Amino acid sequence: MSNTYHVAVVGASGVVGRKIVQVLEERDFPVGELSLFSSARSAGQTIPFKGEEITIQELTEDSLKAPIQIAIFSAGGETSKQYAPIAAANGVTVIDNSSAWRMDADKPLVVPEVNPDTLHKEDKIIANPNCSTIQSVVPLKPLHDNYGINRVVYNTYQAVSGAGRAGIEDLENHTTNNFPYAINETVIPQIDVFLEDGYTKEEQKMIDETRKILGEPDLRVTATAVRVPIKTSHGVSINIELAKEFDLDQIREEIGAIPGVIIADDPDNLRYPLQSEAADTDNVYVGRIRRDPSVENGLNLFVVADNLRKGAATNSVQIAETLVERNLV
């Protein structure tokens, strides 16, 4: 990464936008110049970056063009739909955190540890997956490659920060401005709106995105997404039916060999993934690794990661790093 790049962050004033700026600095991404954009109401605010205070500018249709080379979006689907094509038409490579482009057949949906080869130089809009999907497909990758997967069952335990600042405020202030019930008193088995079949949009995202990322459009996947009263980090219980017999120790080795994965799996010493441990790290923690004897070749995992970092900001920056490493931008 000897060259430097002019990077823009769109939606910089939000929880994830600010985290993207932080991660760019922490990972020493080769930023030559940083431009920050948000809505008019946030314009004029400043965010620290490498000892400077960078002023947020109002996003307009003229904002995203040369000399900007990479724009990381975290401003919601409508903003992405409006401005990402403008940026792409101006030669800017967009990495988008919203759901706007994830299931577009022409847009890569990327987790760098899983499917970096789907990135190409002509890609100008790249989708960042859903937070829970990102951490889940990381350990699924070697299982898919080495054994084949017949079915996946997800049950999530998702932190309030996944709903942005409003979700955090509901937890801290015991209010119901964002969630339909007091999240500090219960868990809520609803994330996003309900669809006609009784699934929520969050659950459908996990189903669709897992299939796309693993390149298995007919993979049997189901999900139940639950909001829990913690601030940061998502937990996902994953039940997998593999196509082949397996050895548990081999499974642990294969998953543990993935960069950024920490195996936390020692029941005798009460060692398992904790959302509190994952908070403010870029790691994916995997534990509770055990057979499911109720089905042939059944396996259970519990997977935890910081939803604001690996589930959003860090994965976006890793995509940018991959583009640079492969001379795709």
Averaged pLDDT for residues 134-145 = 98
Query: Residue 13, annotated ligand binder?
Result: yes
Residue 252 shares a structural domain with residue 280: yes
Kindly report, residue by residue over 59-91, the tens digit of the pLDDT: 999 999 999 999 999 999 999 999 999 999 999
Query: Residue 14, annotated ligand binder?
Result: yes
pTM: 0.96
Averaged pLDDT for residues 199-220 = 98
Q: What CATH number should be reported for the domain holding residue 241?
A: 3.30.360.10
For residue 17, give its domain range: 5-129+312-325
Query: Residue 35, annotated ligand binder?
Result: no
Residue 265 shares a structural domain with residue 220: yes
Q: Tell me which of 120, 131, 144, 174 is the catalytic residue.
A: 131
Q: Tell me which of 6, 144, 174, 234 is the catalytic residue.
A: 234
Query: Residue 158, annotated ligand binder?
Result: yes
Q: Are 143 and 299 in contact (CB under 8 A)?
A: yes
Residue 124 shares a structural domain with residue 137: no
Residue 289 shares a structural domain with residue 204: yes
Residue 171 shares a structural domain with residue 265: yes
Q: Please give the pLDDT value at position 178.
A: 96
- Whether 6 is a known active-site residue: answer no
Residue 58 pLDDT exceeds 90: yes
298-305 and 284-292 strand pairing: antiparallel
Band (pLDDT 50/70/90 cuts) for residue 169 is: very high
Q: Please give the pLDDT value at position 260.
A: 96
Residue 182 shares a structural domain with residue 235: yes
Query: Residue 233, annotated ligand binder?
Result: no
Residue 283 shares a structural domain with residue 155: yes
Residue 192 shares a structural domain with residue 269: yes
Query: Residue 44, annotated ligand binder?
Result: no
Residue 121 shares a structural domain with residue 171: no
- Whether 234 is a known active-site residue: answer yes
Residue 210 shares a structural domain with residue 100: no
For the chain, what is the mean pLDDT?
Answer: 97
Count of structural domains within the chain = 2
Residue 303 shares a structural domain with residue 261: yes
Query: Residue 2, annotated ligand binder?
Result: no
Query: Residue 204, annotated ligand binder?
Result: no
Q: Please give the pLDDT value at position 1.
A: 42
Residue 2 pLDDT exceeds 70: no
